[in-house]
Amino acid sequence: LNDPYVKLAQKEGYRARAAYKLQEIDAQFGLIHPGQTVVDLGAAPGAWSQYLRRRLTPGGAGGALAGCIIALDILPMEPIEGVHFLQGDFREPEVLQRLEQTLAGRKVDVVVSDMAPNLSGIAAADAARVTHLIELALDFARAHLQPEGTLVVKLFHGSGYAELVQQFRQTFKVVKPLKPKASRDRSAETFLLGRGLKNA
């Protein structure tokens, strides 16, 4: 409860302190602008979607949404006005198909992924699960991003990290590892940003 980001989230109406991680990345790289199509993977409880909703509303809170936000999670999520929410497992082809149908042919400007598997404590198995989710996000980005679009994923330092950075470098023109201040120091989580598809 002494966490300043927890207090700030309560004050500003965010469902989780995670909103400030995305806010920091957005401030650094100018990711989110009105008029964009954004996909939020691993969205529940919804703090990132809330942040996106606010950024895509030029007139401030309660204004008309300029753009499109599609959120996906295996867990249920309380509705957020203007956000299309799909409940399902991103690893299942039919869920991916529903996401593609919701896009209706639109190219995506930004994909943000706060997805993390349920960790078992067995390092090798957990690393493989994390890698699998990020590879799926990369595949989705290759297929659906605008040529100059951006993918931001959460990942963890440890086994498989270097290989994932390498895959990002093969896919994107610009690759940046990030550790927002709102990410707890003791946490192994980190973020990776890729921008501009190499083979678009």
Catalytic (active site) residue 154: yes
Q: What is the DSSP string of 17-67?
A: TTHHHHHHHHHHHT---TT-EEEEES-TT-HHHHHHHHHT-TT-TTS---S
Report the residue count for the chain: 200
Cβ–Cβ under 8 Å, residues 47 and 76: no
What whole-number distance in Å separates Cα of residue 54 and Cα of residue 48? 10
Whole-angstrom Cα distance, residue 177 to residue 179? 7
Question: What does the alpha-carbon distance between residue 94 and residue 87 come to, in Å, rounded to a whole number?
Answer: 12
Q: Which of 139, 123, 196, 135 is nearest to 165 (CA)?
A: 135
CB 95 within 8 A of CB 88: yes
Radius of gyration, CA atoms only, the chain: 16
Residues 6 or more apart whose CB falls under 8 angstroms from that of 51 comprise 14, 19, 22, 23, 26
Among the listed residues 21, 107, 154, 176, the single catalytic one is 154
Catalytic residues: 154
